[in-house]
Structure 1
Amino acid sequence: MNKAKRVLVVGSGIGGATAACALAKAGLETHCIDVQPARSTVGSGICLLHNTMRALSEIGLAEPCLDSGLRFEVFKQHDAAGNLLMSNPTPPGIGIRRPELARILETAASEAGAKLERGLSATSVTDRGDRVEVVFSDGREAAYDLVVAADGAYSKLRELFFGSEHRVWFAGQSAWRFNAPRPPEVNGFCLYRSPDGKRTVGALPTSREACYLFFLENSAQHMHWPDDQLDVLVRERLDGFSAPVIQDALAQVTTPGQVLVRPFDITLVPAPWHRGRIVLVGDAAHSPTPQMTSGGGMAIEDAVVLAQCAQAHPEVEEALLAYAARRFERVSTVWNASLQLCKYEQDPVPNPQRSAALMLQTYQYLGQPM
């Protein structure tokens, strides 16, 4: 396998758009496609921890994210009434709205020279050994040295090239999320716990003016909710949380479209993360539970490291082996910590101190180089 010169990125989410930017900056001819016809303007927020900001700085995108989001350096725990129970410093991170992060990443990819096309999918992907031949949904055909599968947790390319055994499985929790104006006290990662410790509400800043709140719900199987009742259902689930932060935020929720619900469907593909000239990044390789707020961050690190390896190694196979060697232990450590936190929250007798200790320990681990 010769060094990659022409690459196709399938998916323009966080991992895909970052990969398109990083690979283009590394000098590769980069084509990025997404089946969605337009970038979504709907979404809550995302936390970019210190390690993610370091990765973004490698490709010149830390400052735009800082300009759009809000920096924080604290992890706080409260009771259901909003009384502060514990406050711990954390390495600096930022909160930012997902649509705003998507805009920054896609704009940077285009400015770096990547060709981005929306409303387009790959209907056929064939690895010929010396190249990958792709047929697109509009009938066009093209050949690439490398195909990056950034098509998310339910990746079709992963199933095609890695098999169905790596499909996602349900981790026993779902998250309810909604946006709200930011009160001054939401100046970091804030948790609010019910008296029995079995329910948790979180709040994260996404800008100087805004934040988002989330509620974690346990269930043995996927739950299904009527879309036109989500605003009513989220109020029912937050009954008993009298903290002003939560009550003031709920007062802003007046339509079901303001509430997003997502089950925690997860997977971790063993290394290596490539088959021939097809390589996985982000959720396609490792979809975690969100307890460590690191799913997007790990995808961004993947993209930056993949570009570094593609630039540094003369052969595609060598580059892809180096990529997985640098990523798997780090990703699996964070993935396992997130899942353990998820399991802790499903214990019959929750132990918030144990969860906080693991979270802070993993924050410190993330300080190591990617």
Structure 2
Amino acid sequence: MKKAKRVLVVGSGIGGATAAYTLARAGVETHCIDIQPTRSTVGSGICLLHNTMRALSEIGLAEPCLESGLKFEVFKQHDAAGNLLMSNPTPPGIGIRRPELARILETAASDAGATMERGLTADTVDDRGDRVEVKLSDGREAAYDLVVAADGAYSKLRERFFGSGHRVWFAGQSAWRFNAPRPPEVDGFCLYRSPDGKRTVGALPTSKEACYLFFLENSAQHMHWPDDQLDVLVRERLAEFTAPVIQDSLAQVTTPQQVLVRPFDVNLVQAPWHRGRIVMLGDSAHSPTPQMTSGGGLAIEDAVVLAQCLRDLPDIEEAMAAYSNRRFERVSTVWNASLQLCKYEQEPVPNPQRSAALLLQTYQYLGQPM
């Protein structure tokens, strides 16, 4: 196989947009499509840990994220009333709103020369061995040297080229999320635990002025809630948390549209992450639980490493093998730690100290080179 000169990225989420940017920056003709007609302006926050900031710094995008988000270097645990129980320093990371991160990444990709198109999907994708022939949903046809499946946890490209055995499965938790003005004490990754230790609320800064809060709910199966009652339901669930940070933030939630609920549907595809000229990155290859706050960060690392391999190695096959070899052990270590934390939180008698130790241990692991 020759080097990739023309690449299609399917999906312009965190991983896809970063891949479009890094590939274009490496001199590859890059076309990135997304089925959504417009970039969403709705969303809570995301934590970019020290490893993610290092990757963003390597590709010149750390500074705009720092300007839009808020840096933090502490992990704090509180009781339900807001009393501080434990405070640990962490390597520096930032919190930032997801729509703002999306704007930064997509703008950078366009500025680097990537063609970014929305309201489009790939109707047919045929790997011919020496090229991939694609028919887009608007009727256009094109050939590419490589197709990057960045189409998320429910990836259609993964199912077609890797088989239905890699579908997501429910990890037993869902997250409720909402944005709020940031009180001064939310200056890092903050957790608040119920008296019985079975329920946890988290808070994370997303800028100097704002933060987002999340609540993890256990269930054996997917739960379904009336969309027009989400604001009422989240207040009911958090009534026992009397911490001013939580109750003052809840007072700002006046409509159901302010509350986002998502089940933890996860998967981890074993390496290699390519089949011929189709390669996966981000959630399509590894959708984790959010306990390690690393899903988006790992996708960004994927995109950086993929572009490096395609740039530095002599042909696509060698580049694809190197990409999977460099990524799988690191991703699986963080993915498994995150899932273990999720399982710990579902135990009849949770052990916060054990969870905190694993969290901090994995933070340290992420300090290793990607």
Q: TM-score by structure 1 length?
A: 1.00
Aligned-partner SS, 1:71: strand
Q: Which residue of 1 aligns with 2:113?
A: 113
Q: Which residue of 2 aligns with 1:220?
A: 220
Give the Cα–Cα distance (whole angstroms) in 1 for the partners of residues 240 and 151 of structure 2. 39
User: Residue 364 of structure 1 aligns to which amino acid in structure 2?
Assistant: Q
User: Residue 254 of structure 1 aligns to which amino acid in structure 2?
Assistant: T
Deviations 1:258-298 (A, max 9, x none): 00000000000000000000000000000000000000000
Deviations 1:301-355 (A, max 9, x none): 0000000000011110100000000000000000000000000000001000000
Q: Which residue of 1 aligns with 2:8?
A: 8
Q: Which residue of 2 aligns with 1:326?
A: 326
Aligned-partner SS, 1:245: helix
Give the Cα–Cα distance (whole angstroms) in 2 for the partners of residues 211 and 17 of structure 1. 24
Aligned-partner SS, 1:192: strand
Q: Which residue of 2 aligns with 1:238?
A: 238
Give the Cα–Cα distance (whole angstroms) in 1 for the partners of residues 243 and 235 of structure 2. 13
1:59, CA displacement in angstroms? 1.0
Q: Which residue of 2 aligns with 1:257?
A: 257
Give the Cα–Cα distance (whole angstroms) in 2 for the partners of residues 178 and 103 of structure 1. 20
User: Residue 34 of structure 1 aligns to which amino acid in structure 2?
Assistant: D
Q: Which residue of 2 aligns with 1:22?
A: 22
Q: Which residue of 2 aligns with 1:316?
A: 316
Q: Which residue of 2 aligns with 1:140?
A: 140
1:81 aligned onto 2:81: yes
1:58, CA displacement in angstroms? 1.3
Aligned-partner SS, 2:321: helix
User: Residue 24 of structure 1 aligns to which amino acid in structure 2?
Assistant: A
Deviations 1:216-256 (A, max 9, x none): 00000000000000000001110110000000000000000
Q: Which residue of 2 aligns with 1:276?
A: 276
Aligned-partner SS, 2:346: coil
Aligned-partner SS, 1:271: coil
Give the Cα–Cα distance (whole angstroms) in 1 for the partners of residues 304 and 257 of structure 2. 34
Q: TM-score by structure 2 length?
A: 1.00
1:167-206 superposed matches below 5 A? 167-206=167-206
1:92, CA displacement in angstroms? 0.1
Give the Cα–Cα distance (whole angstroms) in 2 for the partners of residues 231 and 83 of structure 1. 26
Unpaired segments of 5 or more residues in structure 1? none
Aligned-partner SS, 1:310: helix
Aligned-partner SS, 2:157: helix
Unpaired segments of 5 or more residues in structure 2? none
User: Residue 8 of structure 2 aligns to which amino acid in structure 1?
Assistant: L
Give the Cα–Cα distance (whole angstroms) in 2 for the partners of residues 27 and 57 of structure 1. 19
User: Residue 246 of structure 2 aligns to which amino acid in structure 1?
Assistant: I
Aligned-partner SS, 1:343: helix
1:73, CA displacement in angstroms? 0.1
Aligned length: 370
1:332-351 superposed matches below 5 A? 332-351=332-351
User: Residue 293 of structure 1 aligns to which amino acid in structure 2?
Assistant: T
User: Residue 319 of structure 1 aligns to which amino acid in structure 2?
Assistant: A
1:19, CA displacement in angstroms? 0.2
Give the Cα–Cα distance (whole angstroms) in 2 for the partners of residues 249 and 320 of structure 1. 46
Give the Cα–Cα distance (whole angstroms) in 2 for the partners of residues 58 and 267 of structure 1. 28
Aligned-partner SS, 2:120: coil
1:35, CA displacement in angstroms? 0.4
Give the Cα–Cα distance (whole angstroms) in 2 for the partners of residues 239 and 309 of structure 1. 51
1:100 aligned onto 2:122: no
Q: Which residue of 1 aligns with 2:208?
A: 208
Give the Cα–Cα distance (whole angstroms) in 2 for the partners of residues 146 and 66 of structure 1. 33
Aligned-partner SS, 2:116: strand
Give the Cα–Cα distance (whole angstroms) in 2 for the partners of residues 80 and 223 of structure 1. 25
Aligned-partner SS, 2:17: helix
Give the Cα–Cα distance (whole angstroms) in 1 for the partners of residues 40 and 121 of structure 2. 17
Q: Which residue of 1 aligns with 2:40?
A: 40
Give the Cα–Cα distance (whole angstroms) in 1 for the partners of residues 167 and 319 of structure 2. 26
Aligned-partner SS, 2:191: strand
User: Residue 49 of structure 1 aligns to which amino acid in structure 2?
Assistant: L
Give the Cα–Cα distance (whole angstroms) in 2 for the partners of residues 335 and 284 of structure 1. 13
Deviations 1:148-206 (A, max 9, x none): 00000000000000000000000000000000000000000000000100000000000
1:21, CA displacement in angstroms? 0.2
Percent identity at matched positions? 88
Give the Cα–Cα distance (whole angstroms) in 2 for the partners of residues 120 and 292 of structure 1. 32
Q: Which residue of 2 aligns with 1:160?
A: 160
Q: Which residue of 2 aligns with 1:367?
A: 367
